[in-house]
Amino acid sequence: MMSIMPTRKPSARAAAKDATHERIVAVAARAIRRSGYDGTGVADIMKEAGLTHGAFYAHFSSREAMLAEAAGKACAESAAAAAGVAARVPSDMALATMLSAYLSREHMERAELGCPLAALGSETSRQAGEVRRVATRHIKEMIDLVARQLPDWGQPSAHERALVTVATMVGALMLARAVDDPTLSDGLREAALKHLTPTSP
Protein backbone atom coordinates (compact mmCIF):
# COMPACT_ATOMS: atom_id res chain seq x y z
CA MET A 1 0.00 0.00 0.00
CA MET A 2 1.43 3.36 -1.05
CA SER A 3 1.42 6.08 1.56
CA ILE A 4 1.17 9.73 0.60
CA MET A 5 3.32 12.13 2.52
CA PRO A 6 1.47 15.24 3.63
CA THR A 7 2.52 18.46 1.94
CA ARG A 8 4.62 20.48 4.29
CA LYS A 9 3.48 23.99 4.88
CA PRO A 10 6.11 26.68 5.31
CA SER A 11 6.83 27.20 8.97
CA ALA A 12 5.97 30.48 10.62
CA ARG A 13 9.68 31.07 11.09
CA ALA A 14 10.42 30.57 7.38
CA ALA A 15 7.52 32.84 6.42
CA ALA A 16 8.80 35.52 8.79
CA LYS A 17 12.30 35.24 7.31
CA ASP A 18 10.88 35.60 3.78
CA ALA A 19 8.89 38.67 4.82
CA THR A 20 11.98 40.21 6.41
CA HIS A 21 14.01 39.48 3.29
CA GLU A 22 11.42 41.21 1.12
CA ARG A 23 11.40 44.20 3.47
CA ILE A 24 15.17 44.58 3.16
CA VAL A 25 15.00 44.33 -0.63
CA ALA A 26 12.19 46.91 -0.77
CA VAL A 27 14.17 49.34 1.39
CA ALA A 28 17.29 48.78 -0.71
CA ALA A 29 15.34 49.26 -3.97
CA ARG A 30 14.29 52.72 -2.82
CA ALA A 31 17.73 53.52 -1.42
CA ILE A 32 19.70 52.74 -4.57
CA ARG A 33 17.42 55.02 -6.61
CA ARG A 34 17.66 57.75 -3.98
CA SER A 35 21.39 57.56 -3.13
CA GLY A 36 22.96 55.46 -5.89
CA TYR A 37 24.73 52.12 -5.61
CA ASP A 38 27.84 53.62 -4.04
CA GLY A 39 25.78 55.64 -1.57
CA THR A 40 23.85 52.62 -0.34
CA GLY A 41 25.48 50.94 2.63
CA VAL A 42 24.48 47.71 4.32
CA ALA A 43 24.30 49.30 7.77
CA ASP A 44 21.97 52.06 6.59
CA ILE A 45 19.69 49.61 4.78
CA MET A 46 19.41 47.31 7.79
CA LYS A 47 18.73 50.24 10.11
CA GLU A 48 15.99 51.58 7.82
CA ALA A 49 14.49 48.09 7.67
CA GLY A 50 14.46 47.98 11.49
CA LEU A 51 17.11 45.26 11.76
CA THR A 52 20.62 44.89 13.11
CA HIS A 53 23.64 44.97 10.82
CA GLY A 54 24.56 41.46 11.97
CA ALA A 55 21.32 40.01 10.56
CA PHE A 56 22.37 40.89 7.00
CA TYR A 57 24.25 37.67 6.27
CA ALA A 58 21.25 35.56 7.20
CA HIS A 59 19.67 36.95 4.01
CA PHE A 60 22.47 37.74 1.54
CA SER A 61 25.87 36.32 0.73
CA SER A 62 27.28 39.74 -0.11
CA ARG A 63 26.45 43.42 -0.60
CA GLU A 64 26.49 42.82 -4.36
CA ALA A 65 23.84 40.11 -4.01
CA MET A 66 21.61 42.53 -2.12
CA LEU A 67 22.17 45.25 -4.73
CA ALA A 68 21.27 42.84 -7.54
CA GLU A 69 18.01 41.89 -5.82
CA ALA A 70 17.27 45.54 -5.08
CA ALA A 71 17.90 46.47 -8.70
CA GLY A 72 15.65 43.61 -9.79
CA LYS A 73 12.82 44.84 -7.59
CA ALA A 74 13.25 48.44 -8.73
CA CYS A 75 13.19 47.31 -12.37
CA ALA A 76 10.12 45.12 -11.81
CA GLU A 77 8.27 48.01 -10.16
CA SER A 78 9.18 50.34 -13.00
CA ALA A 79 8.18 47.85 -15.69
CA ALA A 80 4.85 47.16 -13.98
CA ALA A 81 4.13 50.89 -13.70
CA ALA A 82 4.89 51.50 -17.38
CA ALA A 83 2.83 48.52 -18.49
CA GLY A 84 -0.01 49.66 -16.23
CA VAL A 85 -0.01 53.10 -17.82
CA ALA A 86 -0.18 51.56 -21.29
CA ALA A 87 -3.00 49.20 -20.30
CA ARG A 88 -5.25 51.96 -18.92
CA VAL A 89 -5.68 53.85 -22.19
CA PRO A 90 -6.67 52.98 -25.78
CA SER A 91 -3.81 51.39 -27.71
CA ASP A 92 -3.33 54.40 -29.99
CA MET A 93 -2.71 56.58 -26.92
CA ALA A 94 -0.50 54.16 -24.98
CA LEU A 95 2.92 55.37 -26.09
CA ALA A 96 2.09 59.07 -25.70
CA THR A 97 0.67 58.41 -22.23
CA MET A 98 3.73 56.39 -21.19
CA LEU A 99 6.08 59.10 -22.41
CA SER A 100 4.09 61.83 -20.66
CA ALA A 101 4.21 59.94 -17.35
CA TYR A 102 7.91 59.10 -17.69
CA LEU A 103 8.96 62.65 -18.56
CA SER A 104 6.68 64.31 -16.02
CA ARG A 105 7.88 66.65 -13.29
CA GLU A 106 6.50 64.22 -10.69
CA HIS A 107 8.68 61.38 -11.97
CA MET A 108 11.70 63.68 -12.07
CA GLU A 109 11.19 64.71 -8.46
CA ARG A 110 10.57 61.21 -7.08
CA ALA A 111 13.67 59.31 -8.14
CA GLU A 112 13.40 56.83 -5.25
CA LEU A 113 10.12 55.51 -6.65
CA GLY A 114 10.84 55.87 -10.35
CA CYS A 115 12.81 54.30 -13.17
CA PRO A 116 16.11 52.81 -11.99
CA LEU A 117 17.65 53.35 -15.43
CA ALA A 118 17.44 57.13 -15.08
CA ALA A 119 18.40 57.04 -11.40
CA LEU A 120 21.37 54.69 -11.77
CA GLY A 121 22.41 54.69 -15.41
CA SER A 122 25.77 56.39 -15.00
CA GLU A 123 26.78 54.06 -12.15
CA THR A 124 25.64 50.75 -13.60
CA SER A 125 28.66 50.18 -15.83
CA ARG A 126 30.88 50.06 -12.72
CA GLN A 127 28.79 47.50 -10.86
CA ALA A 128 29.22 43.74 -10.50
CA GLY A 129 28.10 41.50 -13.35
CA GLU A 130 24.95 40.36 -11.57
CA VAL A 131 23.76 43.96 -11.18
CA ARG A 132 24.51 44.78 -14.82
CA ARG A 133 22.60 41.69 -15.97
CA VAL A 134 19.51 42.91 -14.12
CA ALA A 135 19.80 46.35 -15.73
CA THR A 136 20.34 44.83 -19.18
CA ARG A 137 17.24 42.69 -18.85
CA HIS A 138 15.17 45.72 -17.84
CA ILE A 139 16.46 47.81 -20.74
CA LYS A 140 15.44 45.05 -23.14
CA GLU A 141 12.00 44.86 -21.51
CA MET A 142 11.53 48.63 -21.84
CA ILE A 143 12.57 48.55 -25.50
CA ASP A 144 10.12 45.71 -26.16
CA LEU A 145 7.29 47.50 -24.31
CA VAL A 146 7.80 50.64 -26.38
CA ALA A 147 8.08 48.67 -29.64
CA ARG A 148 4.78 46.91 -28.92
CA GLN A 149 3.00 50.27 -28.88
CA LEU A 150 4.15 51.12 -32.41
CA PRO A 151 2.03 50.45 -35.52
CA ASP A 152 4.91 48.60 -37.23
CA TRP A 153 5.62 46.37 -34.22
CA GLY A 154 7.54 43.28 -35.27
CA GLN A 155 9.47 45.12 -37.98
CA PRO A 156 13.11 46.27 -37.68
CA SER A 157 11.90 49.88 -37.95
CA ALA A 158 9.85 49.53 -34.76
CA HIS A 159 12.78 48.06 -32.85
CA GLU A 160 15.06 50.86 -34.01
CA ARG A 161 12.55 53.53 -33.05
CA ALA A 162 12.09 51.89 -29.66
CA LEU A 163 15.87 51.95 -29.10
CA VAL A 164 15.96 55.68 -29.83
CA THR A 165 12.86 56.34 -27.72
CA VAL A 166 14.17 54.56 -24.62
CA ALA A 167 17.62 56.13 -24.95
CA THR A 168 16.12 59.60 -25.34
CA MET A 169 13.58 59.38 -22.52
CA VAL A 170 16.10 57.97 -20.04
CA GLY A 171 18.80 60.44 -21.07
CA ALA A 172 16.45 63.42 -20.92
CA LEU A 173 15.31 62.51 -17.42
CA MET A 174 18.88 62.00 -16.20
CA LEU A 175 19.92 65.43 -17.52
CA ALA A 176 16.76 67.10 -16.20
CA ARG A 177 17.68 65.86 -12.72
CA ALA A 178 21.35 66.77 -13.08
CA VAL A 179 21.02 70.48 -13.84
CA ASP A 180 20.39 73.19 -11.23
CA ASP A 181 18.43 75.41 -13.62
CA PRO A 182 14.67 74.69 -13.38
CA THR A 183 13.97 76.26 -16.76
CA LEU A 184 16.58 74.10 -18.46
CA SER A 185 15.32 71.04 -16.58
CA ASP A 186 11.77 71.62 -17.79
CA GLY A 187 13.03 72.35 -21.29
CA LEU A 188 14.92 69.06 -21.51
CA ARG A 189 11.87 67.04 -20.51
CA GLU A 190 9.43 68.99 -22.66
CA ALA A 191 11.63 68.93 -25.77
CA ALA A 192 12.15 65.17 -25.46
CA LEU A 193 8.43 64.63 -24.97
CA LYS A 194 7.57 66.77 -28.00
CA HIS A 195 10.15 64.98 -30.16
CA LEU A 196 9.15 61.46 -29.11
CA THR A 197 5.37 61.74 -28.94
CA PRO A 198 3.72 60.28 -32.04
CA THR A 199 1.79 62.76 -34.13
CA SER A 200 -1.55 62.04 -35.72
CA PRO A 201 -1.40 61.42 -39.47
How far is residue 69's CA from residue 45's CA, in Å, rounded to a whole number? Answer: 13
**What is the mean predicted confidence (pLDDT) over 36-46?**
92
Task: Report residue 9's pLDDT band, with 50, 70 and 90 as the boundaries.
Answer: low
**What is the mean predicted confidence (pLDDT) over 106-133?**
92
Q: What are the structural domain ranges in the chain?
A: 63-196
Per CATH, domain 63-196 is 1.10.1660.10: no
pLDDT tens readout for residues 144-190: 999 999 999 999 999 999 999 999 999 999 999 999 999 999 999 99
Amino acid at site 146: V
Amino acid at site 143: I
How far is residue 149's CA from residue 170's CA, in Å, rounded to a whole number? Answer: 18
Average pLDDT score over the chain: 90
How far is residue 31's CA from residue 56's CA, in Å, rounded to a whole number? Answer: 16
